[in-house]
Amino acid sequence: MKEFNVTKRNRKYFAATTGGYSCKILIDDNSDALEIGYHTIDVEDISVRSKYGTDLIFRLAASASDQKSAGICTLRADYNENLVAACRKLGGKWDGDEMAWIFSGLVESEVEDLDAIYNSEMIAVELDFHDDVVGRCAPVSMFGIRLASATGRDSGASFESGISVIEGGADSQGSSKNWQTVIKQGTILRMYMPEALIKNTDDVTITRI
Protein backbone atom coordinates (compact mmCIF):
# COMPACT_ATOMS: atom_id res chain seq x y z
CA MET A 1 0.00 0.00 0.00
CA LYS A 2 1.12 3.53 -0.76
CA GLU A 3 -0.13 7.00 0.11
CA PHE A 4 -0.97 9.24 -2.86
CA ASN A 5 -2.15 12.77 -3.32
CA VAL A 6 -4.11 12.62 -6.59
CA THR A 7 -4.13 16.12 -8.06
CA LYS A 8 -5.54 15.90 -11.59
CA ARG A 9 -7.23 13.52 -14.02
CA ASN A 10 -5.69 13.52 -17.49
CA ARG A 11 -6.62 11.40 -20.51
CA LYS A 12 -4.58 8.27 -19.70
CA TYR A 13 -3.20 8.90 -16.21
CA PHE A 14 -4.01 10.63 -12.96
CA ALA A 15 -1.32 13.09 -11.92
CA ALA A 16 -0.28 12.45 -8.32
CA THR A 17 2.51 12.61 -5.78
CA THR A 18 3.80 9.93 -3.40
CA GLY A 19 6.64 10.18 -0.91
CA GLY A 20 7.47 13.65 -2.20
CA TYR A 21 7.83 12.49 -5.84
CA SER A 22 5.59 13.21 -8.82
CA CYS A 23 4.01 10.13 -10.33
CA LYS A 24 1.15 8.88 -12.50
CA ILE A 25 -1.66 6.41 -11.85
CA LEU A 26 -2.98 4.52 -14.85
CA ILE A 27 -6.65 5.13 -15.59
CA ASP A 28 -8.37 1.78 -16.13
CA ASP A 29 -11.43 -0.09 -14.84
CA ASN A 30 -9.91 -0.30 -11.35
CA SER A 31 -9.03 3.39 -11.04
CA ASP A 32 -11.83 5.00 -13.06
CA ALA A 33 -13.75 5.97 -9.88
CA LEU A 34 -10.66 7.30 -8.07
CA GLU A 35 -11.31 10.79 -6.73
CA ILE A 36 -9.01 13.78 -6.45
CA GLY A 37 -7.42 13.94 -3.01
CA TYR A 38 -5.45 11.79 -0.58
CA HIS A 39 -5.68 7.99 -0.75
CA THR A 40 -3.92 4.99 0.78
CA ILE A 41 -4.28 2.28 -1.85
CA ASP A 42 -2.81 -1.01 -3.00
CA VAL A 43 -0.95 -0.55 -6.29
CA GLU A 44 1.38 -2.33 -8.70
CA ASP A 45 4.55 -0.52 -9.78
CA ILE A 46 4.66 -0.36 -13.59
CA SER A 47 7.25 2.42 -13.77
CA VAL A 48 9.54 2.83 -16.77
CA ARG A 49 13.19 2.92 -15.67
CA SER A 50 15.90 3.93 -18.13
CA LYS A 51 19.41 5.34 -18.07
CA TYR A 52 17.84 8.77 -18.44
CA GLY A 53 15.66 8.49 -15.33
CA THR A 54 12.49 6.91 -13.98
CA ASP A 55 8.90 7.61 -15.01
CA LEU A 56 6.94 6.63 -11.87
CA ILE A 57 3.71 4.92 -12.93
CA PHE A 58 1.34 2.85 -10.81
CA ARG A 59 -1.72 0.69 -11.48
CA LEU A 60 -4.38 -0.09 -8.88
CA ALA A 61 -4.27 -3.75 -7.77
CA ALA A 62 -8.06 -3.76 -7.27
CA SER A 63 -10.86 -1.30 -7.91
CA ALA A 64 -10.89 1.88 -5.87
CA SER A 65 -14.41 1.15 -4.62
CA ASP A 66 -13.47 -2.39 -3.53
CA GLN A 67 -10.40 -1.11 -1.73
CA LYS A 68 -12.41 1.57 0.04
CA SER A 69 -15.09 -0.89 1.22
CA ALA A 70 -12.49 -3.51 2.23
CA GLY A 71 -10.83 -1.08 4.63
CA ILE A 72 -7.55 -2.08 6.21
CA CYS A 73 -6.11 -4.84 8.36
CA THR A 74 -3.04 -4.75 10.59
CA LEU A 75 -0.30 -7.01 11.90
CA ARG A 76 1.97 -6.61 14.92
CA ALA A 77 4.81 -9.09 15.45
CA ASP A 78 8.43 -9.18 16.58
CA TYR A 79 10.95 -8.25 13.89
CA ASN A 80 11.69 -11.09 11.50
CA GLU A 81 13.52 -10.69 8.18
CA ASN A 82 11.28 -13.20 6.38
CA LEU A 83 8.15 -11.56 7.76
CA VAL A 84 9.27 -8.14 6.48
CA ALA A 85 9.72 -9.58 2.98
CA ALA A 86 6.29 -11.27 3.13
CA CYS A 87 4.59 -8.08 4.32
CA ARG A 88 6.15 -6.03 1.53
CA LYS A 89 5.05 -8.64 -1.02
CA LEU A 90 1.45 -8.18 0.17
CA GLY A 91 1.74 -4.42 -0.22
CA GLY A 92 2.07 -3.79 3.50
CA LYS A 93 3.13 -0.38 4.80
CA TRP A 94 5.03 -0.04 8.10
CA ASP A 95 3.50 2.45 10.53
CA GLY A 96 6.27 3.45 12.93
CA ASP A 97 3.90 5.30 15.26
CA GLU A 98 1.66 2.26 15.73
CA MET A 99 4.54 -0.24 15.38
CA ALA A 100 2.38 -2.27 13.02
CA TRP A 101 2.10 -3.30 9.38
CA ILE A 102 -0.92 -1.83 7.57
CA PHE A 103 -2.55 -3.71 4.68
CA SER A 104 -5.52 -3.41 2.40
CA GLY A 105 -8.43 -5.45 3.72
CA LEU A 106 -8.30 -7.29 0.38
CA VAL A 107 -5.42 -9.42 1.70
CA GLU A 108 -6.83 -10.03 5.19
CA SER A 109 -6.78 -13.82 4.77
CA GLU A 110 -3.08 -13.81 3.81
CA VAL A 111 -2.28 -11.48 6.73
CA GLU A 112 -4.06 -13.87 9.11
CA ASP A 113 -1.83 -16.68 7.81
CA LEU A 114 1.26 -14.62 8.65
CA ASP A 115 -0.18 -13.79 12.06
CA ALA A 116 -0.70 -17.49 12.82
CA ILE A 117 2.96 -18.23 12.03
CA TYR A 118 4.87 -15.28 13.45
CA ASN A 119 2.65 -14.77 16.50
CA SER A 120 2.47 -18.46 17.39
CA GLU A 121 3.39 -19.38 20.97
CA MET A 122 6.95 -18.51 21.97
CA ILE A 123 8.78 -21.74 22.84
CA ALA A 124 12.13 -22.15 24.63
CA VAL A 125 14.53 -24.05 22.38
CA GLU A 126 18.13 -25.19 22.18
CA LEU A 127 20.02 -24.88 18.88
CA ASP A 128 22.88 -27.33 18.33
CA PHE A 129 25.14 -26.36 15.40
CA HIS A 130 26.65 -29.36 13.57
CA ASP A 131 28.62 -27.20 11.12
CA ASP A 132 29.86 -23.63 10.80
CA VAL A 133 27.00 -21.37 9.69
CA VAL A 134 28.18 -18.31 7.78
CA GLY A 135 26.71 -14.96 6.85
CA ARG A 136 28.66 -13.42 3.95
CA CYS A 137 29.06 -9.68 4.56
CA ALA A 138 25.93 -10.07 6.66
CA PRO A 139 24.64 -11.36 9.99
CA VAL A 140 23.79 -15.02 10.54
CA SER A 141 20.02 -15.47 10.50
CA MET A 142 17.84 -18.56 10.64
CA PHE A 143 14.11 -18.65 9.82
CA GLY A 144 14.33 -14.86 9.53
CA ILE A 145 15.62 -14.48 13.10
CA ARG A 146 18.95 -12.67 13.43
CA LEU A 147 21.31 -14.63 15.68
CA ALA A 148 24.79 -13.06 15.45
CA SER A 149 26.36 -10.08 13.71
CA ALA A 150 29.80 -8.89 12.67
CA THR A 151 30.66 -5.63 10.91
CA GLY A 152 33.99 -6.55 9.32
CA ARG A 153 36.80 -9.10 9.19
CA ASP A 154 38.36 -8.04 12.49
CA SER A 155 35.25 -6.85 14.34
CA GLY A 156 34.40 -10.10 16.07
CA ALA A 157 30.76 -11.13 16.29
CA SER A 158 28.11 -10.63 18.94
CA PHE A 159 24.85 -12.46 19.57
CA GLU A 160 21.50 -10.73 19.66
CA SER A 161 19.90 -9.96 23.01
CA GLY A 162 17.86 -12.82 24.44
CA ILE A 163 20.23 -15.49 23.10
CA SER A 164 22.22 -17.49 25.66
CA VAL A 165 25.48 -19.16 24.58
CA ILE A 166 25.87 -22.54 26.30
CA GLU A 167 28.87 -23.75 24.29
CA GLY A 168 30.99 -22.40 21.44
CA GLY A 169 30.46 -18.95 20.04
CA ALA A 170 30.60 -16.68 17.00
CA ASP A 171 33.39 -14.73 15.30
CA SER A 172 34.27 -12.76 12.18
CA GLN A 173 36.52 -14.02 9.40
CA GLY A 174 37.32 -13.67 5.69
CA SER A 175 38.94 -10.69 3.99
CA SER A 176 38.41 -6.97 4.47
CA LYS A 177 36.14 -6.83 1.42
CA ASN A 178 34.53 -10.25 1.82
CA TRP A 179 34.14 -10.56 5.57
CA GLN A 180 31.89 -13.09 7.21
CA THR A 181 29.92 -13.63 10.38
CA VAL A 182 30.32 -17.25 11.51
CA ILE A 183 28.64 -19.28 14.24
CA LYS A 184 31.09 -22.08 14.95
CA GLN A 185 30.48 -25.79 14.71
CA GLY A 186 29.60 -27.22 18.14
CA THR A 187 27.93 -24.03 19.34
CA ILE A 188 24.82 -24.51 21.49
CA LEU A 189 22.38 -21.62 21.93
CA ARG A 190 19.22 -21.24 23.98
CA MET A 191 16.48 -18.79 23.05
CA TYR A 192 12.75 -18.35 22.49
CA MET A 193 11.20 -18.56 19.04
CA PRO A 194 7.67 -18.82 17.57
CA GLU A 195 6.53 -22.44 17.67
CA ALA A 196 5.45 -22.43 14.00
CA LEU A 197 9.04 -21.65 12.91
CA ILE A 198 10.67 -24.58 14.71
CA LYS A 199 12.22 -27.07 12.30
CA ASN A 200 15.54 -28.86 12.00
CA THR A 201 18.01 -28.25 9.18
CA ASP A 202 21.15 -30.03 7.99
CA ASP A 203 23.26 -27.53 9.95
CA VAL A 204 21.26 -27.18 13.15
CA THR A 205 19.14 -29.39 15.39
CA ILE A 206 16.46 -27.53 17.36
CA THR A 207 15.19 -29.10 20.57
CA ARG A 208 12.38 -27.81 22.79
CA ILE A 209 13.46 -27.36 26.38
Residue 29: domain span: 2-68
User: Is 127 in the same domain as 112?
Assistant: no
Domain identity same for 49 and 30: yes
Last residue of a domain, one of 26, 43, 68: 68
Residues 62 and 83 in one domain: no
| 36 membership: H or E segment, kind and range | none
Residues 76 and 26 in one domain: no
CATH classification at residue 61: 2.40.50
Query: Which of 68, 85, 103 is the endpoint of a domain?
Result: 68
Q: Over the chain (209 residues), what is each successive 10-residue block's mean pLDDT? A: 93 96 96 92 93 95 84 92 96 90 91 97 97 96 96 96 97 95 98 95 94
How far apart, in Å, are the Cα atoms of 108 and each of 69, 70, 84, 93, 188?
13, 9, 16, 14, 38
* pLDDT of the residue at 67: 83
Based on the structure, what is the number of domains in the chain? 3
Q: Are residues 202 and 126 part of one domain?
A: yes
pTM of the predicted protein model: 0.75
Q: 191 with 156, same domain?
A: yes
Residue 140 shares a structural domain with residue 186: yes
